[in-house]
Amino acid sequence: MVRNEAHNIARCIASIKRLKAIDEILILDTGSTDATPQIANDAGARVRLLENPDDYFIETKRGRYIDFSKARNESMVGASGDWILIVDADEDIVGDASTLKHILGQMEDDIEGVTLQFIDKQQGRDIMQFQQARIFRNGRIRWDGVVHNRPYFKQPAFFCPDIKLEIHHYGYDLTPEAEQKKWDRTVGLLEYRLEQNPDDAVPYFYLAQNYSQIKEHEKSVEFALKYIAARDTLDNFNLSIYFTLLMELKKLGDAEKMDTWLAQALKELPNDLDIAAAAIEYGEWQQKSVALKLGSEKFIRNYDALAANKLANGTRFVYSNNKYWLTRALFHFSLMSMHEGIRSLTRLYDDLKAMDDPKYVASVFDDIDRETRQMKLSDWRSVIGRGCKVVQLAKPEKKKKKKRK
């Protein structure tokens, strides 16, 4: 489904056609006033204009906007294949689809949704990435939610490592004017959803994200806490809210509350990448070496685990799964490891000097020299000197035995 996507639609369709595995490209236009339908048609898509569009729009306090789930459900009408791949106009799809049809054809009948790696890109950078259900068995899916709509089907989405496809999303790489329009639309629809059902806590999660986006941190924290407070009413509580809350508390300068919520998050999510990132952020800010060490170690371990198992965090948002956070973790972990190593070597050196066993001391120094050569650390004594601000250390001389007269 598209509306006024003339600047995106050709790129999107071209990426789908490059896969050489898609039998038809269906587009439902919800009321474009630009050249979107013509461009899509010329690119080889089958374009259908939304009939009775007034039935699909909602009047909100911030404007008149499309009911996303209602339109998306309509967009799948007429699909003839066994499976449906969803790609939005502000996205493209990349990878090798040469075996896609064969893999899907071998799927058990109870598998109704398949995940792909979703990567959000802004200004050429990978901002976050996670697994997201994008391939669905035709006739087994419905979408729900006027905005931030989600697919519903019987079984959990299936991750197949043999499907080598990624969705690249550019929807937040916008001009300030377009970004404001998108914010108004999203928040307007979320407010409308709350008005229709005040007991529906799901909008609180997304309102926390949206108010963070415009740097209204107190409002963001307010909605995050409301979402957490309503946890028992939710079928699928999104644990990503903890990272949002922690980062917003940091921006507000509330170290005490950040410390409290970080402890809670670490207890509940000991192996979560985002919570480890929040621990790094807190440790840097408050100069807490324990938090820095804990966060860095956990981040590196969890980053590698997530690379090995794409569904380690399920299909929820993972904000810190990128090289920028990884390099921060490696920086702190490396420095702290070096400092600890230098302190240990210095203590070893001092204890060896105090021993009255020259043969043993010499053998230990020979062992250290051998190991550090293998590590390409040729002069470990000078490293100790630089790290601990002491003079150049020299290997203790062996005591000469006095000759008997």
pLDDT tier for residue 377 given thresholds of 50, 70 and 90: low
d(CA 287, CA 277): 15
Residues linked to residue 158 through DSSP beta bridges, in sequence order: 114
Can you tell me the mean pLDDT for 196-222?
97
Mean pLDDT calculated for residue range 311-322:
83
CATH fold of 9-169 reads: Spore Coat Polysaccharide Biosynthesis Protein SpsA; Chain A (3.90.550)
Of the spans 345-354, 375-384, 392-401, which averages the highest pLDDT?
345-354
What are the domain boundaries of the chain?
Answer: 9-169, 199-321, 336-388
Query: What pLDDT was estimated at residue 402?
Result: 54
Radius of gyration (C-alpha) of the chain in whole angstroms: 28
User: pLDDT > 70: what percent of the chain?
Assistant: 92
pLDDT at 125 over 60: yes
Size of the chain, expressed as the number of residues it contains: 405
Cα–Cα dist 117/168, whole Å: 9
Q: Read off the pLDDT of residues 242-299 as tens digits, 9 standing for 90 and up.
A: 999 999 999 999 999 999 999 999 999 999 999 999 999 999 999 999 999 999 999 9
Q: Please report which confidence band the pLDDT of residue 33 belongs to, taking 50, 70 and 90 as the band edges.
A: very high
Q: Could you tell me which residues come within 8 angstroms of residue 12 by beta carbon, excluding any fewer than 6 positions away?
A: 5, 87, 88, 89, 90, 91, 92
CB-based contact 82:205 (threshold 8 Å): no
What is the pLDDT, as a whole number, of residue 378? 53
- Count of CB atoms situated within 10 Å of the CB of 389: 6
Identify the CATH class of 199-321: mainly alpha
Mean pLDDT of the chain: 90
